Structure 1
Amino acid sequence: MRERDGVTGRERAPRTSGATVIELDVRDDGVGVLTLNGPPLNLITREATRQLLEATARVAEDPRVRVLVITGAGDRAFCAGADVTEFADVRAEVVERKLRRENEAMTAIEGLPIPTIAAIGGVCLGGGAELALACDLRVADAGAVIGFPEVGLGVFPGSGGVFRLPRVVGLGRALDLLYSGRRISADEALRIGLVTEVTAPGAALQRALERGAALASGPALALRLIKSGARDSLTQTTAQAVDASLADSARVFTGPDIEEGLAAFAQKRPPRFTAPREIEARPAKEEGLS
């Protein structure tokens, strides 16, 4: 049974057993809010990764969620990265006991068929920055600090940073950040394209929710195909991208939203897209997530 938040009235997904460090709320406007709830630093522990996978699977299966916003609890950090105290326990089997599952979680977020927005406040480091990179858009407040400090521990970002960062900011800037481990301000992150918007201090979540609500009112199928087309193009030839774009165009031109779009255009009014989000069958390899 789902419960309602007593303050916001939003429906809250069922809690998993034990300490809940990943919260998933579904708002009435179609925006899901996934909160890393381990203040003050909201670290990515193995338990947090497990719960992140569970929450992402729920989002993928819930047709009400048309946009996902990811944020961190408290005012100190979006996510300060991995829990370094776990390293001693997993070093000998770090891939199987830690990194493989983290990569599964980041890839699952990246692959959601809806727009995703990271609302970055405070520090966003290491695994936290990798989580933000898995999102489509990144909104940071003016006081945010972002970095990939892993090299200082003699390691590197093993959950997507080394390949997602170059795709966002370009190879040279990515290597500069990864080699040095330096932290950059929100303004510098905006200048190099690492974040898409900078807000007043403390306003990143509110702005992300505003953008999320606007996207949630859009045509779900078209937004889904924009996302998949743009991401897939990174590994496609031009010919492959053209073929995919033509196939997707056929889908939207015969899809559920075009009649409303054309009617709104003719009547000189904003469109009201109400067609539900499509839900695909869950891949067999994901069965058993709980």
Structure 2
Amino acid sequence: MTYEAIQVSKENGVATITLNRPPMNPLNTQIFKELTQAINELQSDISVGAVIMTGSGDKAFAAGADVTEMANLTPVEVYNFCQDSQIAFKRIENLGKPVIAAINGLALGGGCELALCCDFRVAADTAKFGQPEIGLGIIPGAGGTQRLPRLIGAAKAKELIFLGDIIDASAALGLGLVNKVVPTELLLEEAQKLAKRLSSKPAVAMAMAKSAINTGLNLDISSALTLEIQCFVTAFASDDRKEGIGAFMEKRKPNFTGK
């Protein structure tokens, strides 16, 4: 598929999705629909083992939702706008492959919410984060009130959402909002290193680990442990499990095929 609001490239088992509305990469309906389509295609692409999500330019990962599109929407239309965003973000969150947000510049509002959907967040030292929607008389509508508390705890999430403060990369690291902070010029290099490590892992086991964690977080512990067993058995049935255990017993490096 040909995309306009995003760019998709693939190299050495890693796909990179770049938001392509510089300089601020505001999120609009077109981006949401294109992200959904791209993730659907990557899900079935066995050549891709990991995905990097980033923004074009050096000013913003995504500086928020496109307010010019939202400003004159009716309540029904804005509901559909939020639905489009949540559909795209859920697809990213539930992609059976690891997703890394390489955060350059501003990740505000919907941009921060997009980063929250990813499995890892690597931030440039110039990155800034926030959910400033309160200043517009609204609240986060693409998962911020739900994913942020689950990641950093309710008290800190309320502080960011209620006050609308914008924090720098160092503060985000301290909160556990990001996994790593690197110099801006090394951002994509670091994200690619992590993506290549992840893409070399057995695909079925990776998908099952992600599913067990993401789904299990929303279950009671007994149900979550049952889910873990189900995911374990699925991974155990894979060809890669046979290869992994065989390689371990033969004291050699495994050759995983993603099956």
TM-score using structure 1 length = 0.85
Contact kept, 8 Å, 1:121 with 1:202, in 2: the verdict is no
Q: How does 1:237-248 map to 2 (within 5 A)?
A: 237-248=220-231
Deviates further, 267-276 or 206-215: 267-276
The residue aligned with 1:33 is: 16
- Which runs of 5 or more residues in structure 1 are unaligned? 1-13, 277-290
Q: What is the distance in 2 between the residues matched to 1:264 and 1:70?
A: 33
8 Å CA contact retained: 2:112, 2:131: yes
Rounded Cα–Cα distance in structure 1 between residues aligned with 2:244 and 2:33? 40
- Take 1:200 and 1:114, find their aligned partners in 2: how far apart are those partners? 26
SS of equivalent residue, structure 1 residue 90: coil
- Partner-residue secondary structure (3-state), 2:228: helix
Distance 1:272 1:61 in 2: 21
Per-residue CA distance 1:176-227 (angstroms, 9 max, x = gap) = 1001111111111111110011111232222111111111110111111110
User: Which structure 2 residue ranges, 5 or more long, are not aligned?
Assistant: none
Number of matched pairs? 259
Match of 1:121 in 2: 104
Residue 53 of structure 1 aligns with an amino acid whose one-letter code is T
Deviation at 1:267, TM superposition (A): 4.1
Report the counterpart of residue 175 of structure 2 in structure 1.
192
Whether the 8 Å CA contact 2:54–2:61 is kept in 1: the answer is yes
RMSD of equivalent CA atoms: 1.5
1:136 is matched with: 119
- Which of 205, 208, 212 is the matching residue for 2:195? 212
1:40–1:73 Cα contact (<8 Å) kept? yes
CA contact (8 A) 1:146 1:183 kept: yes
2:40 corresponds in structure 1 to 57
Moved more, 51-60 or 212-221: 51-60
**TM norm structure 2:** 0.95
Correspondent of 1:149 among 132, 138, 149 = 132
Does the CA contact (< 8 Å) of 1:120 and 1:205 recur in 2? no
In the other structure, the counterpart of 1:81 is: 64
Q: Does 1:175 align with 2:158?
A: yes
CA contact (8 A) 1:221 1:252 kept: yes
**% identical equivalent positions:** 39
Identify which of 15, 19, 29 aligns with 2:2.
Answer: 15
In the aligned structure 1, how far is the partner of 2:68 from the partner of 2:51?
30
Larger deviation, residues 201-210 vs 178-187:
201-210
Task: Name whichever structure is richer in helix by fraction.
Answer: 2
